[in-house]
Amino acid sequence: MSRILVAEDEWGIASFVLKGLRANGYTASHAADGDTALFEARSGQYDLLVLDLGLPGRDGLSVLRALRKAKVAIPVVILTARDDPATLVEGLDAGADDFIAKPFRFDELLARVRTRLRVDHLPTESTLRFGDIEFDARARRVLLDGAPVELSSREYRVLETFLRHPGQILSREQLLSHAWGRDFAAGSNIVDVYVRALRKKLGAAVIETVRGLGYRLGDGSRR
Ligand code: CA
C-alpha cells in the first residue's frame, strides 16, 4: 500500500484529498505547514508528496528545493492556484514531477498520483520499449521496427531521458542536466536541436512539445 503525504494548509482541501486517497486504498497523512511537510517528507516513510505551493512557514517551492538538495527523490505532485507557465517552469526546475491546478476534481489528482507512483516504481531496465522503438542500454543500441538507427551519443542520452520519464513534462533545463550534466553552460535551445534530430530519425510523434514548458515522450504513433 502506498503512503502519501498531503501538505496543504486549507483544511477543506486537505480533508477532501485525504478522504479521497484513503477511499482509494492509500495511506494518507497530513502536514499543514511547510516545515512539517519537509520534516515528514525527509523521513523516508512516504512514497509520494502532494504539495501545495502556498503554505505557511516554508512555502512549497522551498520545501521542494530543500528535499531535492538533500537528495530525497520522493515523487512530488504540486497543487497550485497559480497555473501560469512561469510558476510551472519554476516548479519543474525545483524538481517537481507533476502539477495540478486548483480547483481540481479528485479523479484528476488520483490519475496523477497513480501515474507518478507507477513511473517511480519502474525498475531501471536495460531494455526499454516504446511503440516501435527498442532501446537497449547495455548494448547502446536503438532499433526502430527492428532496424538499427544511428544516434549520436548525445541524441542517445536525450532519448534515454525521455524513455525513463514517460508521461512527465521535461523542461529544457531538466533535459540539459540529464543529458549534458549539471554544469553544462550552453543555452537551453540546444535541446530543441536534439529533439528535432530525434523526431527526424524516429518519427515526429516520438516527442511531444508542451508549449511554454518543454517536452514529453509522445504517444508513440508514427502516423
Ligand atoms: Ca495554501
Residue 170 DSSP class: B
pTM (predicted TM-score):
0.59
Q: How far is the CA of 220 from the centre of ligand 1 (A)?
A: 37
Residue from 81, 7, 112, 114 nearest 50 by CA: 7
With a pLDDT cut of 90, the percent of the chain lying above it is 41
Q: How far is the CA of 181 from the centre of ligand 1 (A)?
A: 34
Which of the residue ranges 128-137, 164-173, 198-207 has the most confident prediction, judged by mean pLDDT? 198-207
Residue 198 · residue 170 · CB < 8 Å: no
What is the distance of C-alpha 203 from the center of its chain? 23
User: In angstroms, rounded to a whole number, what is the distance separating the alpha carbons of residues 22 and 27?
Assistant: 6
Q: What is the tens place of the pLDDT at every residue in 95-139?
A: 888 888 888 999 989 988 988 887 655 555 678 888 888 888 777
C-alpha cell at 46: 512516504
Q: How far is the CA of 118 from the centre of ligand 1 (A)?
A: 27
Q: How far is the CA of 1 from the centre of ligand 1 (A)?
A: 27
**Average per-residue pLDDT for the chain:** 86
Residue 154 · residue 195 · CB < 8 Å: no
Q: How far is the CA of 9 from the centre of ligand 1 (A)?
A: 5
Q: How far is the CA of 54 from the centre of ligand 1 (A)?
A: 4
Q: How far is the CA of 145 from the centre of ligand 1 (A)?
A: 48
Q: Which residue has the higher pLDDT, 44 or 179?
A: 44
User: In angstroms, rounded to a whole number, what is the distance separating the alpha carbons of residues 168 and 45?
Assistant: 24
∠ CA 24-65-165, rounded to 5° = 55
